[in-house]
Every structure is written in C-alpha cells, then in structure tokens.
Structure 1
Amino acid sequence: MPFQAVVVEEAGPSEVTVEVRELSEDQLPDGNVTVSVDHTTLNYKDGLCMKPNNGLVRKYPHVPGIDFAGTVRSSDDPRYREGDRVVLTGWGVGERHWGGYSQLARVNADWLVPLPDGLTTAQAMAIGTAGMAAMLAVIALEDHGLTPDQGEVLVTGAAGGVGSIATAILSQLGYEVAAVTGRAETAEYLMSLGATRIIPRSDLDTVSPKPLESTAWAGCVDVVGGEMLARVIGQLKYGASVAAVGLAGGAALPTSVLPFLLRGVNLLGIDSVMQPFEKRQAAWQRLASDLPLDKLETMIQPATLSELPQLGAEILKGGVKGRVVVDMKNGI
C-alpha cells in the first residue's frame, strides 16, 4: 500500500530538497513493529534535519520526525499486537533512523512505549519529546528536593514546546512559575498556562560580572543554555537545582564553580533520547496525570504534512509557539 512521507534528499554539498513523496512499504527500514502513524509533531531537531549540513542525518534519502504516535499495524514482537496504541520519542529516530513524518513507520519494539489510557495520539504528539523532556526535568527537580513552598520556579524559553509544557505542569503541581520569553505577545498565552510572572528575556540574557547575585529561584527548567543558564545559576537559592534541557542560546557555559561551592546548587542534565523504558513509561504516566489537558489544547497549532518543511524553517528562528500537531490520516 503506498503512503505519503516527507523525504529529505541531498542535492549538493550544501543543499537538500525537502518534499512530500509517495513511498511503498518495501522502502521502509528494518524493524520488528510496523506502525500506522496517526499523529506527529515538530521539534527543533526536526527543523535541523530538514536543512543541509545539520550534523544529525547520516544517510540520504531521509524521513525526519523524531516523534510519532499511532496504532500497531503488525508486530513480530510479543509485547505489541495489532491495534495497540503506541508512542515513540528519541532513540535517534528521525535522525539516524527514518522517522515519523510518514504515514507508516517501521521501528524496533524496544523504542516504543504503550500510550497511557486517557491520552489520544493527538494529545501524545502535543506532548511529544518536548513534553517528555519537560516532565523528566520536573521529576529531576523533585528528586533533588524541590517543593512548591520553596518559592518561584523559573522556566526559560517558556513559549516554546518544552517551556510551555513545563509551565503548565509546574502550575498544576502548585508551583509559582516565572516564565521567561523574548516575545512580549506571548505573555497572555503563558499566563493562561499558569505562569504567575512574565520576565523579559533581556533581563537574563547577558552574563553578570558577579558570579553570585541575589538569590531568586527555588529551581529552574532551562531550555536556553549559554549565557542565560550561567546567569540563572548565579541566582539560584541555596541548594537549588536547574534542569538543563536545551541549548537554543548556545552550548558554552560562561560561569564559575563558585555557585556550586558556596551555595551548593545543582546542574541537572536532562536527556530524553536514550532514557530506558521504565523511566519513559513513568514519565508518560506522570504526563497523563499531571499535565492539564485543557491547557495542552491551548498549545496546539494544527498542521498538515506538507506544511512541515516551512514550519521546520520557522522553528529554527524561534517563530513557532506551543506545539505543532500533524494529523497524518486526513490528507497532506
């Protein structure tokens, strides 16, 4: 049965083409579970995978899409049967392996997680890798002692996918959330997710000459990295933690060891790609219970398969708010 997919093809040393094509099942990669993809989404990595010299894709032609949710069509693994609802994030799918921008996907069963009861495949993709990373960050902060009575929790890059979901989760759990954004027009949106205060990006996007500033934050979910993360580290309360999820502002970290030595703060690295099954399943269960689905709906930007190349370019410029959700069953 033919199906539609976004295909990235190398067209020269520094050029790629990105277009929707019709493929056949014999073109699918190896794997022991075939999934009818119901919904997919858009992440920063997806945007990178649709541009040349991205450092992620190893072989062309390539189908991007690091997340998908759908229904098992056939399985050679006893853990999954035809008709089971599943979700996939990480494991290099959409980067090293063909991904979810396709109406059919074939993958290793070890990469799948059963979709929790109470979530639709559309909601799962409104969550996606961004939501998985946000939930893992919140869990890590909790594991290091964060509780709602300790004060404000900062979320940087709050209008993006990870930041939006982190804001909604933290608010639902009773935290005061200070949301950082460089787009003033997103303030109302962030307040609707539960943010109690909006902080302009310009307040935090330069390194302070002092390695330690006045303490302000009981914890932080940081999506930006770079100079902003360095600034936040110097403002954390004694013993507080920051969960580092992204590097939209750069990979360098221009700080000193003083906040760690004099205030005992913690820098927690959050990886969502290689998390073991048990932690993935636990995070999805927490998302099903702790993420308010009414707020999740306000984050969704519907899109079609054919719109993904343009949206991929926009997300690299910071031009996408909330979560893009693509219905793969109803046209391209």
Structure 2
Amino acid sequence: MSGTSEVEAVLPEAFQAVVAEDQGGEIAFAPQMIQSSTLPEGEVVIEVEYSTVNYKDMLALTPNGKVVRGYPIVPGIDLAGTVVSSTDASLRVGQPVVAHGYQLGTARAGGYAQYARVPAEWVVPLHDSMTTWHAMALGTAGFTAAMSVVTLLDAGIRPDDGPVLVTGASGGVGTVAVDILASLGYTVTASSGKDGAGDLLRKLGAAQVIGRIPEDPDAKSGPLESASWVGAIDTVGGETLAHILRTLKYRGHVAASGNAAGISLPVTVLPFILRGVTLHGIDSVQVPITERRQLWNRLSDDLRPQHLDLLTTEYPVSELPEVVSAIAAGTNVGRPVLRIKDGFTPITE
C-alpha cells in the first residue's frame, strides 16, 4: 500500500530488508531488495539505524513460533533511527526516535530494514541524552524491565525492605532489570543458569548470583516455602514463577513478563490468601503511547541503566542467524543490538 506523496518522495524506490518466508514449514530469512511501495501506510518514515534481537524476534524466525500473523514479513519488533518524513506536526524531520511493539515485526514490516513507515501514534521521540544506539541497547527488553521495576516501585517496595530477585537475569530483560534496580539502591539477587554469567551480573550490581530456581524442578514442594524475597522480576514463568510465589515474603510482589519455562503455573491459592502476595502481569506490546513516551523519558533519567556498554553486543545484519540461534539455545547473554544503517552487505544484481 502507498502512503502520502511526501513519504514517497523521500523513500528510495527500493532498499534492503531482511525478509522472512515460510518455506514448507521452515522459516527462511535473508536480506533482499524490497520495493518502498510495499510498505504499510503511516504518517512517519524512519531511516532505521539500529534494531535488536529479542526472544519474540527469535520466535518470529522459528517454525511454529506463533507470533507472526502471516509470512512473508520483515521482522524486527524494535527500531530506532531518524525521521526522514512526517505528516504529523509532533514529529519533525531529523528527529531521533524509537518505535517498538504494537504490530511491528509480527503483522507489519518491522525494524530489520533500512527504512520503516509507521503510524505516528507508535513513535517515541528520544530525549536529547539518549542516542539511537542506546535506545536499542534497551529496546523492548529494556522497556519491559523498566515497566517491571516501576511496578515494584509503585507497589511501595523500597531498597531497605529486603532483597529483590531477578530470574532469567542474564537475558535481555534480566540484565537491564538488575542494572536499574542496583542503580536505585536495591539489594538484587540474580538467578541465571548460564555458565559464566556471574561476573557480568556482579558488574551490573547484583549482590548475589544464584543458579536457576528451583534447583530441582521435579522435587516435591509445599504450597508455601521459606519466605525470601520482598519482590521479584520474573522473565521465566512456569515452575520458576510458581517457586517465587511460594517464597515471597508477606505482601510481596512479583512482576512477570516471560514464559521460557512454560505457560503453566503450578501454584495454589495459599501464597495469595495467607501471605497476601501479588502477581503483576507485564505486557509491553500494547502500552498506550502517552504512557510509553513517559517511561522512555524516565529511561533517560531516574531509570537510566548505568552499564549498557557492559551488557550490550553489537552485530551486523549478516550475523542475525547466529544471534537467533544463540537465543533459541539459551546461550545468549545480555542485549544484542543489530546494526541496520551501514550494516547490510551491498546486493549486486
């Protein structure tokens, strides 16, 4: 579909993008030249500088990932770059912006392309103190981590109340959550099953690093166990989340955003009715734009992580398959930033 004449005048006739296609049940993806006329409608054209690779992006590029509405598609649920055309008065040409969530990379062309066209109400102008690289070092994962931290703050949990647990701590959401919490003065226990992640997590501010919880997921457990955490940020789900609920302190809170360990939640009502614990679901995809912009401003201010350079690795587009494989295998640590501008290898006819 075509957009406005102003947009079409700025876009080149064709440009490079990663295109994912369903080939008999297998998802193949590689850079291609695509026509600008195939981009969906929107008020804002962005020259994409960086994207990133999230767990959801991995699912989009995996058979039976069940997050993409239909193939072929340009993946990438995150993007950051510069506005090159806008018919919305609030977004000016030359402005650095970020966009993520909604339908990007799942139902419409996403961030793995040199240009993107998106609705204005999906776009967040970046604060002067944040570059497009920093925005993608955060991305959906960092935004989700910030939402989780704010949930605990709004629940009244303070640094001197006791230890806060972060599970899946070596992943994208987990590393940023550890960084933000430690920067705010919380005593953080980081749980990770990845070998070698301990040094990074301690550098991010974790006071203690432990393995996966529970240590033995097949061991018999009671409906309540020793109370250990005043709050938790869980990115794992399944038995891990159930264990957290059984071990939260009285009126403890957990912000849950992941399901890597499964979607079942084997827990009784006892943690809720005897300890008064609260389970908060965290969804970053459909957050209203006003709230989204406010939280991005906080990520430039009081919630700004202090160690993004330590937890982030930059990759060119050509290394996307290796990054996807690492996330699928559970070996990726931290935040992978995908270089889009100047990151594609020229395609010759």
Confirm or deny that 1:288 pairs with 2:313: no
Q: Is the alpha carbon distance of 1:219 and 1:208 closer, same or farther for their aligned partners in structure 2, counting shifts above 3 Å?
A: farther
5+ unaligned residues in a row in structure 2: which ranges?
Answer: 1-11, 345-349
Q: Map 1:147-162 to 2 at 5 A.
A: 147-162=158-173
Aligned partner of 1:175 in structure 2 is: 186
CA contact (8 A) 1:168 1:291 kept: no
Q: Map 1:1-12 to 2 at 5 A.
A: 1=12, 2-12=14-24
CA contact (8 A) 1:211 1:258 kept: yes
Cα distance in 1 for partners of 2:326, 2:309 equals: 21
Offset of 1:104 from its aligned partner? Answer: 0.3
Offset of 1:151 from its aligned partner? Answer: 0.6
Q: Which has the higher contact order (CA 8 A, sep 6+)?
A: 1
Q: Equivalent residue of 2:144, what SS?
A: helix
Aligned partner of 1:110 in structure 2 is: 121
Cα distance in 1 for partners of 2:60, 2:176 equals: 23
Aligned partner of 1:136 in structure 2 is: 147
Q: Equivalent residue of 1:238, what SS?
A: strand
Aligned partner of 2:202 in structure 1 is: 191
Cα distance in 2 for partners of 1:293, 1:55 equals: 32
Cα distance in 2 for partners of 1:89, 1:318 equals: 23
Offset of 1:310 from its aligned partner? Answer: 2.7
Aligned partner of 1:212 in structure 2 is: 224
TM-score when normalising by structure 1 = 0.96
CA contact (8 A) 2:180 2:306 kept: no
Cα distance in 2 for partners of 1:268, 1:202 equals: 19
Q: Equivalent residue of 1:60, what SS?
A: coil
Q: Map 1:58-137 to 2 at 5 A.
A: 58-137=69-148
Q: Which amino acid aligns with 2:249?
A: K
Which of these residues, 12, 15, 20, is aligned with residue 31 of structure 2?
20
Query: Residues 107-129 of structure 1: CA distance to partner in whole angstroms, max 9, x if unpaired?
Result: 11111111122111001000000
RMSD of Structure 2 on Structure 1 (CA): 1.4
Cα distance in 1 for partners of 2:337, 2:303 equals: 17
Aligned partner of 2:6 in structure 1 is: none
Identity %: 47
TM-score when normalising by structure 2 = 0.92
CA contact (8 A) 1:38 1:121 kept: yes
Cα distance in 2 for partners of 1:291, 1:243 equals: 17
5+ unaligned residues in a row in structure 1: which ranges?
Answer: none
Q: Equivalent residue of 1:290, what SS?
A: coil
